[in-house]
Structure 1
Amino acid sequence: MSDLTELTEHGHSQKEIEARIGKPPGRGYLRDIIYGGIDGSVTTFAIVAGVAGAGLSPMIIVALGMANVLADGFSMAAGNYSGTKAELDDIKRIRRIEERHIETHPEGEKRELRQILHMKGLSGDALDKAVAQISSDKEQWIQFMLEGEYGLAPVDPHPMRAATATFIAFLIAGMIPLLPFIFGLPSAFTVSSVLTGITFFAIGAYKSQWSLHPWWRSGFETLAIGGVAASIAYFVGTLFTV
């Protein structure tokens, strides 16, 4: 059995099933963390590479880098908040529509429910009983329609949590390329390049826990993406060498 299988498989005893299925549902923030981390590393190191390519002083690199980490990090978090808030508002809007339809057109909604269940493979007496059972609980009925008719997740998004996850990931990853310049290390740009490359690889390797790809492939993939962005920024910076 591969390492990936060992990490992702779970038991199927009755006790394990009840513990896993019965726990409160949650909504992960992997996408927000990966998004913030990669963008924080790429944009900050792009500034470092561009300014270093132009031959400007380390203090300018720190000033511009810090401004990017705080301003761009906040901007990304705010954008993620707005986007997630819009998603949540849309879910609420659709929920109210379904509530109203169930109140005013229950038979029509039952026909929709029946069609969804039929497409899932139910028929005959089993289909009739399932329709009756689900439609007997209004909240369960609404939630089933949100998932079956609109493809919405059963857990509502949390805009502030998503924004916070993005900002923290951006802040941590974005500060790494600046550390050699902040501490005045010799060959600061070289050290910054190595640390940023390690960060890219680490983010990709971390992401692989939720991927079918091996950790090293995911790591090198993210490293390649960040490396291309940094190379472009450095090349542009050399065009304006002072």
Structure 2
Amino acid sequence: MPSDKVRADHSPDAIRRRISSDPDHSYLRDFVYGAIDGAVTTFAVVASVAAAGLSNGIVIVMGLANLLADGFSMAAGNYLGTRAEVETREKRRRDEEDQIQSHPEWERDEIRQIFALKGFEGKMLDDIVEVITSDDKRWVDTMITEEFGLSLHTPSPWKAAGVTYLAFILIGMIPLLSYVMGYIHPGLLVEEPFYAATILTGVAFFSVGALKSRFVGKNWLTEGLGTLGVGTLAAGIAYAIGLLLRPLLDGVA
């Protein structure tokens, strides 16, 4: 039997409010994207520098530089990409408005073909075409979603960029914590901060995946381990590169 909440969500008034209001955008993708990339790239710096045998101070400097510069680059890229989606939709809207004004019969025939392919025919198809084409905004909206496959609503470019940058900084700082704390309070943590950074970063990877599972309806353990596996692979590659390049640094020294 459906619960009281399910019944309430499917009442006529609830359905009407949900359909008539603009959808709430989830910025989970932006958070997960920024968090995982922040942890991966920062730990990659830590792993490669540690494998190359450089000092802890260099780890901190390069790690912080990566956090600020690469995080900003990611946020800017996300902003520009999201804004491009908005601009693409608006251009399509202007084009469709012009075509409806100049060639309404051609555009009306496109609506007919779109819904004929969905299985509508006869009088029902005629009625659908008549209803949609009787309102220019509804007509254009239908063409945007059905012909071009674009959404009528997109996330805010500024919010998408902000969430990405915030997640990058917050989670990306974790691999550096043991080094920063060791610098501020020498001897407070373990003598080998790289080991602590490895453990903390693994926990961060797993936590991000487990958190994502709550929003996508998947098993938290599976998602956590999957994210941990991806991060471990990236970190392993960075560490291996550091080992391979170490002889070059020894030669310089």
Asked if TM exceeds 0.5, the reply is yes
Residue from 57, 61, 64 that aligns with 2:62: 64
Hey, what's the Cα distance between the residues in 1 that align with 2:155 and 2:98?
A: 23
Instruction: State how far apart, in whole Å, the 2-side matches of 1:116 and 1:16 are.
Output: 30
Q: Comparing 68-77 with 83-92, which one deviates more in the overlay?
A: 83-92
1:193 equivalent in alignment to 2:198: yes
Equivalent of 1:156, from 108, 133, 154? 154
Specify the SS of the correspondent of 1:183: helix
Q: CA RMSD in A?
A: 2.1
Equivalent-residue separation in structure 2 for 1:141 and 1:218 (angstroms): 42
Percent of residue pairs identical: 48
CA drift at 1:157? 4.0
Q: Secondary structure at the match of 2:165?
A: helix
**Runs of 4+ displaced beyond 6 Å:** none
**Offset at residue 203 of structure 1 (A):** 1.3
Q: Distance in 2 between matches of 1:40 and 1:116?
A: 43
Distance in 1 between the 2:177 and 2:83 partners? 34
1:165 aligns with 2:163: yes
- State how 1:217-228 maps to structure 2 within 5 Å: 217-228=222-233
Shift of 1:73: 0.4
| Structure 1 residues 196 and 59: alpha-carbon distance in aligned structure 2, compared to 1, 3 A threshold | same
Residue pairs, 1:1-242, within 5 angstroms: 11-184=9-182, 185-186=189-190, 187-211=192-216, 213-239=218-244, 240=246
Distance 2:179 2:143 in 1: 55
Higher gyration radius (CA): 2
Distance 2:150 2:216 in 1: 22
| 8 Å CA contact retained: 1:203, 1:219 | yes
Structure 2 residues not aligned, in runs of 5+: 183-188
User: Given residue 172 of structure 2, which amino acid in structure 1 is its aligned partner?
Assistant: G
* Paired AA for residue 196 in structure 2: V
Instruction: Check the 8 A contact 1:26/1:155 in 2, yes or no.
Output: no
Q: Which amino acid aligns with 2:23?
A: P
Segment of structure 1 superposing worse, 75-84 or 43-52: 75-84
Larger CA deviation: 220-229 vs 115-124: 115-124
C-alpha displacement of 1:210 = 4.2
Residues 91-115 of structure 1, C-alpha deviations (whole Å, 9 max, x = no match): 1211111010111111111111111
1:150 aligns to what SS in structure 2?
Answer: coil
Residue equivalent to 2:185: none
Aligned length: 236
* SS in structure 2 of the partner of residue 151 of structure 1: coil
Please give the TM-score of this superposition, normalised by the length of structure 1. Answer: 0.90
Q: Distance in 2 between matches of 1:26 and 1:145?
A: 23
Residue 209 of structure 1: how far off its partner (Å)? 3.2
Aligned-partner SS, 2:147: helix
Q: Secondary structure at the match of 2:173?
A: helix
Q: CA deviation at 1:30?
A: 2.1
Give the TM-score of the pair, scaled to structure 2. 0.86
Deviations 1:156-202 (A, max 9, x none): 34322221121111111111111111111223222211111111111
User: Hey, what's the Cα distance between the residues in 2 that align with 1:122 and 1:67?
Assistant: 59
How far off its partner does 1:212 sit? 5.5
Partner AA of 2:92 in structure 1: I
Q: CA deviation at 1:140?
A: 1.2
Give 1:160's aligned amino acid. W
Task: Give, as a single letter, the amino acid of the residue that structure 2 aligns with 1:30.
Answer: L
